Chain A
Amino acid sequence: MNTQKKVVTILFLSFMLVLAFCSFSRAADYPTKPITFVIPYQAGGFTDILSRALAESLKKQLGQPVICENRAGGGGAVGLSYIATRQPDGYTIGLITPGMYLAYHMKKSELNPVKDLTFISRISGGMTAIVVRTDSSFKTVKDLINYAKQNPGKITYGTSGQGTITHLAMEELSSLAGGVPWKLVPYKSGSEAATALLGGHVDVVSDAPSWQPLVDAGKLRLLAVFMDKRSDRYPNVPTVKESGYDMSVPGPNGVVGPKGIPKPLVQKLDGAYRKALEDPEVKAVLKQYDLINLYLNSDDYVKAAQEEFDWSGKLVRKLGLDKQ
């Protein structure tokens, strides 16, 4: 070969080598552009604030901005169906909450979270609890249930809607207690329900965590929490299990993406979220909203999500809420 041909050949081979390395190191390069994080709820709520704090931490770790986009609607359905239809290239991810598993079983949403999404990391769990007014005569959950049984139809409880996790929690409690004749008064939001409780229009509220300012101010009182362990912020409040009814509603939220994100990218994101949960700013948010760190890595999260999915399905069918 003459010199020119040699040079061209060497250049060409080097180019191919570089290309080859490029494709291997793709995961290491990720992310090369900003990531969009879809929050399926309105700005200002705790899902929004938590997501933004996590996004800040991810930006520091991954070197690329994580842009939060609110796509509210349908209790999360709008945002989540948007996520599910994006390219699985790791550049669009978002938050999922337990309500979305319920929505599928209650035939409100076509999105099957387990089938249609990639599970990246489980993040935290919210505070679902039973709340009454401070001057109420009920001191424990048993008091409430006994009174309700003796006076059928008198006790009303408010939730942030029909078919929400807080509604189902109360119904499950009722079935464990042998059928409690209390009435559900659904409201449009947790704040409305808390206001109604304060004004004496309902007797009990089961919701998370719109009652927080009022409990702190001493106007409302927690009877029990639906979590596995007692809350850090309210250590004197028993869990529902401790009150004698073996159930809990951890209600975890987590980061998901469209189905089919390549494993290396998922692992990179997963690792970043695990570290993010150690970030002091994120921890501050968790503390403010009394959220528990329920981190699971992506493989464990897939299994946990399946369990959550099945549990939701059983509960919905048991309560007959899957018939539209």
Chain B
Amino acid sequence: MELFNQLYMGFSVALQPNNLIYCFLGTLIGTLVGVLPGLGPVAAMSLLLPATFHTTPEGSIIMLAGIYYGAMYGGSTTSILMNIPGEAASIVTCLDGHEMAKQGRAGAALGIAAFGSFIAGTIGIIGMQLLSVPLVSFALKFGPAEYCSLMVLGMVVLTFLASASMVRALMMASLGLVLGCVGQDTVSGLMRFTYGVPELFDGIGLVPVVMGLFGISEVLLNVERVAKQEFLEGKIKGLLPTMKDWAKSIWAIIRGTVLGFFLGILPGGGGTIAAFASYAIEKRISPYPEKFGKGAIEGVAGPESANNAAAQGAFIPLLSLGIPSNVVMAMLLGALIIHGVTPGPLLLEQHPQLFWGVVVSMYVGNIMLLILNLPLIALWVKVLKVPYSILFPLILLLCLVGAYSINNSMADVWFTLGFGILGYLMKKLSLEAAPMVLAFVLGPMLETALRQSLIKSNGSFSIFFTRPISAAFIGIAILLFFVPMLPKLRKKRPGAVIGGDDEI
């Protein structure tokens, strides 16, 4: 009964005309911003943040939140159509989504991404409502040792991403680790590899790296091919996913949702890692792993659901503890404080209408996004028919402007270009970018967590095994690492690459 009262209160706030308008504006802007490569929800929110000072707290949060999860919907569009990640979390969607587009199945890819995002978003909101309290207390138990073990597990999962040669994948992962070292080290405060360049103090940005590695390199490769008029070889086969697609994807969506939601709650976790993990897991348990990277729809459904669920999960630490788990949440925190609302345990007591109004508006927002995105699929698919000679300068322009917009800095533009060239060379040498990116993201987190743990344990490694959650993660990691190498299991899975007895 309590739940219905709360929902009723929420609906009475969310369905007010001006809040509905804010919701629509937010989701619309979010979708646009998600579609444009490089320009992320952070940039859009920081531009609109001052405007929200003069509105009600409910209205401003509804709009800003709409931008955030709207961007997660839009991010898949450019990933699928042009192999450019609209968001860092959409990198993995590029891998199979773009292949599907090349096969004329862009509509199905976009459709399943939209539906997957909707299902994940909705389940995520329900999770937020019902499970906030227990999840938060679980998340609080995550200390440095747990994070470190989770990252170790992530590194093992990374190996699942290898499509061809394991050796090459590990080489790329090592490169990713080295690149991740650039910047100021959290624990010692020392600057590494920065050469006095202030823009490198916080490390190389993830967005320039992925835009370059995936987007720009793709453009460079395509331009090299002998005059192709159209981007798309075959016909466009249908605009929506078929029943078969649904049958394959539904479990991927559910798995991705659960995984993403959980990872989103962890402060410091996020959509990117969730998407990668979902992709790797889908590939690992799929009966035909060799199809991944060539247009397997699970490779789009899982990660897209994961990143939307993570976006929902990320709200939980903010709303229940007042602790932002990423930059976007930090901005929402600022917006709340400026309205005199202190998020945290008191939020529910002092401002129940704000809390429930925002939660319900997320339902409304997700529905709006689905209605917005589905008809647009037909439009987006037409984009692929534009002659490439017109399309590619536009893509380059969008990428470079997007790179600049991250922090009003030319340095990001240079990085994007540099990584674009690197990505081009890598593709020529059949070196995969996905393991590199995941190592780039996980590496610094692993190192910091490792050293924090050792500070606390006075140098003893036993801390990872005596703490139950940490020990569980390490156990799973060991299992995942060694079990597939058992001779019995090796023969059964021709497509997955384990152990790699192939030449370089």
Report which A residues bind B (CB closer than 8 A). Answer: 42-46, 48-49, 52, 56, 68-75, 77-78, 81, 106, 108-110, 153, 156, 161-163, 183-188, 191-192, 194-196, 198-202, 210, 212-214, 216-219, 285, 288-289, 321, 324
Contacts and interface: CB of A to CB of B under 8 A. Distances in A.
A192 B199 contact: no
B198 A183 contact: no
Contacts of A110: 196
Q: Which 8 A-B residue pairings sit nearest by Cβ, starting from the closest?
A: A213-B322, A74-B201, A162-B189, A44-B331, A43-B46, A44-B334, A213-B344, A201-B143
Interface residues of B, number: 55
Contact of B321 (A52, A188, A198, A324): A198
B143 A49 contact: no
Interface string B304-325: 0000000000000100011111
Given A44-B334, A70-B46, A163-B189, A183 B456 contact: yes
B186 A186 contact: yes
Given A162-B187, A186-B189, A78 B201 contact: yes
B456 A156 contact: yes
Most central of A108, A110, A217 by chain B CB within 10 Å: A217
A73 B201 contact: yes
A180 B342 CA distance: 35
B390 interface: no
A195 B408 CA distance: 31
Interface of B: 42, 45-46, 49-50, 53, 140-144, 184-191, 196, 198-199, 201-202, 267-268, 317, 321-325, 327, 330-335, 337-338, 340, 342-346, 407-409, 448, 452, 455-456, 458
Contact of B343 (A78, A188, A201, A213): A213
Contact of A69 (B53, B190, B408): B408
A191 B325 CA distance: 8
A73 B456 contact: no
Contacts of B346: 213, 216-217
A42 B456 CA distance: 30
A268 B113 CA distance: 55
Contacts of B191: 108
A195 B268 CA distance: 11
Given A74-B184, A199-B143, A219-B345, 11 more contacts: A42-B327, A42-B331, A49-B338, A74-B199, A74-B201, A162-B185, A198-B140, A199-B142, A214-B323, A217-B346, A288-B340
A210 B458 CA distance: 27
A235 to B, nearest CB: 18
B186 A324 contact: no
A246 B477 CA distance: 51
Nearest to B330: A44
A205 to B, nearest CB: 12
Contacts of A196: 143-144
A44 B335 contact: yes
A238 to B, nearest CB: 23
Given A106-B189, A199-B141, A183 B46 contact: no
Contacts of B456: 156, 183, 185, 201-202
B5 to A, nearest CB: 23
Contact of A195 (B50, B321, B327): B321
A198 B345 CA distance: 12
A196 B322 CA distance: 13
Nearest to A78: B198
Contacts of A56: 50
A220 B452 CA distance: 22
Nearest to B344: A213
Given A44-B46, A44-B334, A73 B143 contact: no
Nearest to B324: A191
Contact of B267 (A77, A191, A218): A191
B199 A73 contact: yes
A118 B202 CA distance: 26
Nearest to A196: B143
A45 B330 contact: yes
A70 B191 CA distance: 22
Which one of A201, A214, A216 has the highest number of Cβ atoms from chain B below 10 Å of its Cβ? A201
A156 B455 contact: yes
A274 B44 CA distance: 31
A18 B452 CA distance: 68
A43 B188 contact: no
A185 B144 contact: yes
A139 to B, nearest CB: 22
Contacts of A285: 338
Contacts of A74: 184, 198-199, 201-202
A74 B344 CA distance: 29
A74 B191 CA distance: 10
B201 A192 contact: no
Nearest to B452: A185
A213 B342 contact: yes
A194 B343 CA distance: 14
Max count, chain B CB within 10 A of own CB: residue among A163, A188, A200: A188
B377 to A, nearest CB: 32
A246 B63 CA distance: 47
Contacts of B190: 324
A161 B50 contact: no
B455 A72 contact: no
B140 A191 contact: no
Nearest to A287: B340
A81 B53 CA distance: 30
